[in-house]
A and B are shown apart, each in its own frame.
Chain A
Amino acid sequence: MISNPVLKVLQSILRLITYQPPQQPEPFVLEEEDPVKKTKPAPAQQELQQQLLHTQQLLDYARQLAAYIEELIAGIRRNMPAAELSELTAKYDCFKQRQLELEPLLSAYDEHVPNPEKLFSTSLEQNMKIIKKLYNIPTNKDPVLREFELPAEPSRQALLVYLDGLVDAQKINLAVLQPLMLLSRNCANGNDIISAVMSACLPSNQVKEVYQFNDLIAAVAGGDTALIVDGSTTTLIIDTKGFPQRGIERPQIEQAIRGSQAAFSERLRSNTAQIRLMLPSADLVTEIIPVGNQVSTNCAIMYMQSIASPQLVAEIKRRIKLIDTDYILNTSLLDQFLEDQPWLPVPQSLATERPDRAAANLMEGRVAIMLDGTPFVHIVPVTLHTFFQTVDDYSLSVPAANFMRFLRIMGAILTMILPAAYLAISYFHQEALPTELVLAIAGAREKVPFPALIEILLMEFSFELIREAGVRVPGVLGSTIGIVGAIILGQAAVAANIVSPIMVVIISITGLASFTVADYGFSFALRLARFVFLFLAATFGLVGIAIGLLIMVELLCYMKSFGVPFLAPTAPKTSSAGHALLRSSVFAQGQRPDELNARNNRRQPPVSRQWAYKKPRKENNP
């Protein structure tokens, strides 16, 4: 090449303007597993014959061994002579020899049996091997295998298995290792070392025996420690739970001005305990059903034995047992597996974080479903009226409570149809408004370039954005979003003539009303319905809203929550428990909700304020 300065400059310019592939390392791509590779190639004919041969060998050996043992037993029974015995001893050596030969075959066979379902073997080494394989040791760093020696006669190797972080180190040190290392010398004798250790050497409150690796894994995952002793097929599970746990805190979502200030937390046992504290009765039953195939979680159902309908309890148990899935994360997911109409947005169970609310519902004959790891308890079955009730209703006087109920019902109605009604009236029924109002609306909309439908959708969308943002942003920024949203939407949008002031009023009232709805899931359902009503109103006016309401009522009538009509006691009409829509005095609520078909429908006699009918006793002044 001619090295000429002009050419050099030209070349460098050319290099600048022509495309050159960037020098990059090859990016990581997650490759799909080749489905062809996944399926194993069919074993060759020869290999199959080999396997058959091996199996026959093993079987032969097993049969011979069984015959030998029988012979031995028979011999011992009839006190056989020494000559025969020596013959048998020789045979024993022969068997031992063959066993050593067959060992590789046996272990190869063993590997085909899925490990978790295996029983413990007598060999500690074998057990340890399986445990290591199950827990992926040494890749997995959580499990701890602690080997030590039990100073019994004769001394035996033992192994503790637990998960680091889930156990209380103090408990293992003082209540497991210390007594086992020091005390078992005295208590352990003979072959039955396990029961000896269990009865004399373990000052732990909960110890149980297991025989399968499955049970060991489940127990260890819950923070317990497994003790495996060499030579024993029984493993002891010792309670050493000590994982970090949230304490009982104040309710975050269902706050009550008066009433209990405790909320459920993540741990199942703490939650069942809280309900049990609210209902200190032997009648309260807690049943635990594990759910999930691959990773199983404990699901508890609680009910009052003498109140809840046995049919209802059976049905709930049936549904939970027949869920076939790998893992259930929380109660809401479980709920979606259980509910009758999963495609309707209306919640079909009541999620509560308040033990007092759960207790009150259990006393009416409902059933509480809870899952380990969820700070919410789901109450089933529910009716529509449930979602208008709060705990505060019952701590205030009847008029005050009913006023709040009325407000909430109005809130729900406004949430659903206020924007739609505005749209319908401003599109189709302008004569329905006072002249000044119609002119004010028209005047305010004069400079807005969009049709009212677009305007309302714009505002609704912005409002939902603010709401979603408010939920998603970190707590510190939450209040900022509210203020910024209000300022931007309220002031700026009006000033920029994007929306009319009256629209801001409508959307604000609707937004405010939607916050009065007591249940989060229910408020979501109403918000979804609002958009449907909006489109119906835009096409058909008030007739559209009427059609929408009709369809909605039909759907609600059709719905059932665990076999209970969703609109009971309104439709079908049954005797109400005195607190369906509005609430009566507590002393007048003589019956439990009729739709629950409780075992015992009466909760108090018609006259529960007995004192009002008795003469006051006069104090005699001495």
Chain B
Amino acid sequence: MSLKSKFPIIGVMVMAMLVSGCNGARETDQVAYILALGLDKSAIEGKVLVTYQIAIPRSLGEAGSKIGEQTSVNVSIEAANLAEARNLLNTRMARLPNLSHIKAIIIGDELAKKGLVEVVGPIVRFREFRETMYILVVKDDSAYNLLNKLKPRLEFLPTRYIETMMLTARESGYFRPTQIHDFYQRMKTGCMSPYAALVGLNSFDRYQPSAQKSPREKVDEYLPGGVPRKGVGNPAEFLGTAVFQGNKLVGYLTNEETRILSILQGDFQNAYLVVQDPLKPDKAVNLNARIGSPPKIKARLANGKLSFDVSVLIEGEVTAIPSGINYESEQNRKILEHAFAQLLQDQANSFIEKTKTWGADVVGFNYYARPFFPTYDDFMKADWRQLYRNADYKVNISVKIRRTALMWRTTPVRQLK
């Protein structure tokens, strides 16, 4: 076949290309990049308040963008659902919305309490939403307020702030980054409790510890908004966890309870633990801790009652001994390890008690109880919420101090007479 006789074929192919192509192509100046999506209960019955945070590309494109320049704009629409909201967005914004860069879905307190089933389903189904988006719940406030008040000082984009926040959660373990995929999966299993990172707005005039301190505790527990802060600036506070039952918000976990959740799930990366000095109760000892071995959970079923044995090893490095007691010595170290273990164990017990009252299996104990039910249907028939409430939990947290940082023998500070 000569080249000349191929020309009609090539011509048809090129024409086919030209006719069919370019359908999905979008110039960057035709697209509005949505960074975050806020969802709230609307004042109008049967509607949702949808807040789109839309990036202003101009402010990022030019070299030497000024600090404090507005990098995003918020658009709020009250609509029956997300699809209608998108249509309505098109009535006031010239550009086509692109949802693939949404970093976080922020859900207002009231909507979370009402139930999320109508919201999360479409998000998982529609292609443009990524399932790696983070899901956040605003405590005692609306997503609308959070998105409008979120003004980070270091980052250009507010969502970059949220993203970085989620990536650095491992530093303190005070909140758990949750992606929409995990949330949806837990929601659909029926027996697991979905949870989401909790965020709040601080009014800079409150000191509101959320619980009584146990004897060994030296630090306060907080929920978002309750941390005593001074000055002005970004009011957002990432702390604790919002716990759902089914698709409804049932309660909050404090920062310390969130940390216990991480420990029990074996996802505890790093945190500074503070405990009362066992030998000098007015002082505290600090430990930089991480999980030493993943938690071993054993389940037993006797007389229709479940019991779980949980054992976790935490290891760490002492970072501060203000009392000057030589905890590096073999004997003292054991005392210190015991004190830390007791602290965590107390916290774990109170955490489990709290979740029992909600009947919310946040940790995922049901996974270990499944062997006692021969089929999936059997398990679904059993009332897992009740079983969870009635079960016995024996948490055994052991602590090993591996290193004592850069000092190997502590001596008290000498007072000159």
CB pair A427 B159 closer than 8 Å: no
Which chain A positions have C-beta within 8 A of B58? 443, 446
Closest partner residue, chain A, to B127 (CB atom): A431
CA distance A426 to B29 in the complex (A): 10
Known A-B contacts A435-B101, A538-B22, A539-B18; the reply to A452 vs B60 at CB < 8 A is no
CA distance A427 to B30 in the complex (A): 10
User: Is B28 positioned at the interface, with any CB of A under 8 Å from its CB?
Assistant: yes
CB pair A540 B21 closer than 8 Å: yes
Interface residues on A, range: 20 to 34
Q: Which of A436, A446, A541, A544 contacts B29 (CB 8 A)?
A: A446
User: Is B231 positioned at the interface, with any CB of A under 8 Å from its CB?
Assistant: no
User: Is A600 positioned at the interface, with any CB of B under 8 Å from its CB?
Assistant: no
Give the Cβ gap from B166 to chain A, nearest Cβ, in Å: 14
Which residues of B from 54 to 82 have beta carbons under 8 Å from A?
55, 57-63
User: Is B11 positioned at the interface, with any CB of A under 8 Å from its CB?
Assistant: no
CB pair B29 A427 closer than 8 Å: no
Known A-B contacts A343-B3, A430-B28, A452-B28; the reply to A538 vs B21 at CB < 8 A is yes
User: Is B160 positioned at the interface, with any CB of A under 8 Å from its CB?
Assistant: yes
CA distance A428 to B30 in the complex (A): 12
Which residues of A from 421 to 461 have beta carbons under 8 Å from B?
426-428, 430-431, 435-436, 438-446, 451-452
Which chain B positions have C-beta within 8 A of A544? 21
Closest partner residue, chain A, to B61 (CB atom): A443
Q: Which of B17, B57, B130 contacts A442 (CB 8 A)?
A: B57
CB pair B17 A436 closer than 8 Å: no
**Count of chain A to chain B residue pairs whose CB atoms are closer than 8 Å in the complex:** 89
CB pair B159 A451 closer than 8 Å: no
Known A-B contacts A431-B101, A439-B61, A539-B18; the reply to A445 vs B25 at CB < 8 A is no
CB pair A445 B33 closer than 8 Å: no
CB pair B33 A435 closer than 8 Å: yes
User: Is B35 positioned at the interface, with any CB of A under 8 Å from its CB?
Assistant: yes
- Which of B17, B28, B33, B58 lies at the interface centre, i.e. has the most chain A CB atoms within 10 A of its CB? B28
User: Is B103 positioned at the interface, with any CB of A under 8 Å from its CB?
Assistant: yes
CB pair A446 B27 closer than 8 Å: no
Give the Cβ gap from A9 to chain B, nearest Cβ, in Å: 65
User: Is B88 positioned at the interface, with any CB of A under 8 Å from its CB?
Assistant: no
User: Is B24 positioned at the interface, with any CB of A under 8 Å from its CB?
Assistant: yes
CA distance A452 to B30 in the complex (A): 12
Task: Report the interface size for chain B: residues with CB under 8 A from the other chain.
Answer: 33
Give the Cβ gap from A339 to chain B, nearest Cβ, in Å: 16
CB pair B130 A431 closer than 8 Å: yes
Known A-B contacts A431-B100, A452-B27; the reply to A443 vs B60 at CB < 8 A is yes
Q: Which of A436, A442, A538, A540 contacts B31 (CB 8 A)?
A: A442
Known A-B contacts A430-B28, A443-B62, A452-B28; the reply to A435 vs B3 at CB < 8 A is no
User: Is B157 positioned at the interface, with any CB of A under 8 Å from its CB?
Assistant: yes
User: Is B98 positioned at the interface, with any CB of A under 8 Å from its CB?
Assistant: yes
CB pair B55 A439 closer than 8 Å: yes
CB pair A436 B27 closer than 8 Å: no
Which chain B positions have C-beta within 8 A of A343? 3
Interface string of B150-168 (1 = CB under 8 A from A): 0000001101100000000
CA distance A446 to B56 in the complex (A): 10
Known A-B contacts A440-B61, A539-B22, A540-B21; the reply to A451 vs B100 at CB < 8 A is no
Which chain A positions have C-beta within 8 A of B156? 436
Which residues of B from 7 to 52 have beta carbons under 8 Å from A?
17-18, 20-22, 24-29, 31, 33, 35
CA distance A452 to B26 in the complex (A): 10
CB pair A539 B159 closer than 8 Å: no
Q: Is the interface of A mostly helix, strand, loop or mixed?
A: helix
- Which of A431, A442, A538, A539 lies at the interface centre, i.e. has the most chain B CB atoms within 10 A of its CB? A442
CB pair B98 A539 closer than 8 Å: no
CB pair A435 B57 closer than 8 Å: no
CA distance A452 to B22 in the complex (A): 13
CA distance A8 to B251 in the complex (A): 112
Closest partner residue, chain B, to A455 (CB atom): B27
CA distance A541 to B21 in the complex (A): 9
CB pair B25 A427 closer than 8 Å: yes
Q: Which of B25, B28, B130, B160 contacts A538 (CB 8 A)?
A: B25
Closest partner residue, chain B, to A441 (CB atom): B28
CA distance A440 to B60 in the complex (A): 5
Known A-B contacts A430-B98, A431-B100; the reply to A541 vs B25 at CB < 8 A is yes
CB pair B61 A436 closer than 8 Å: no
Which chain B positions have C-beta within 8 A of A435? 33, 35, 55, 101, 103, 157, 159-160
Q: Which of B25, B59, B128, B130 contacts A443 (CB 8 A)?
A: B59
Which chain A positions have C-beta within 8 A of B28? 426, 430, 438, 441-442, 445, 452
Closest partner residue, chain B, to A426 (CB atom): B28
Give the Cβ gap from A314 to chain B, nearest Cβ, in Å: 28
CA distance A586 to B22 in the complex (A): 51
- Which of B3, B20, B27 lies at the interface centre, i.e. has the most chain A CB atoms within 10 A of its CB? B27
CB pair B24 A439 closer than 8 Å: no
CB pair B62 A442 closer than 8 Å: no
Known A-B contacts A343-B3, A439-B33; the reply to A428 vs B57 at CB < 8 A is no
Which chain B positions have C-beta within 8 A of A430? 26, 28, 31, 33, 98, 100-101
CA distance A445 to B156 in the complex (A): 19
CB pair B24 A445 closer than 8 Å: no
Give the Cβ gap from A341 to chain B, nearest Cβ, in Å: 11
Which chain B positions have C-beta within 8 A of A443? 57-62
Closest partner residue, chain A, to B32 (CB atom): A442
- Which of B29, B55, B157 lies at the interface centre, i.e. has the most chain A CB atoms within 10 A of its CB? B29
Known A-B contacts A343-B3, A435-B101, A435-B103; the reply to A428 vs B24 at CB < 8 A is yes
User: Could you give 10 example pairs across A and B, Cβ below 8 Å?
Assistant: A426-B28, A427-B26, A435-B35, A436-B157, A441-B61, A442-B61, A445-B28, A451-B27, A538-B21, A544-B21
5 tightest Cβ-Cβ pairs between the two chains A and B: A443-B61, A539-B21, A431-B100, A442-B57, A443-B57
Contact residues of B with A, CB < 8 Å?
3, 17-18, 20-22, 24-29, 31, 33, 35, 55, 57-63, 98, 100-101, 103, 128, 130, 156-157, 159-160
Contact residues of A with B, CB < 8 Å?
343, 426-428, 430-431, 435-436, 438-446, 451-452, 500-501, 536, 538-541, 544
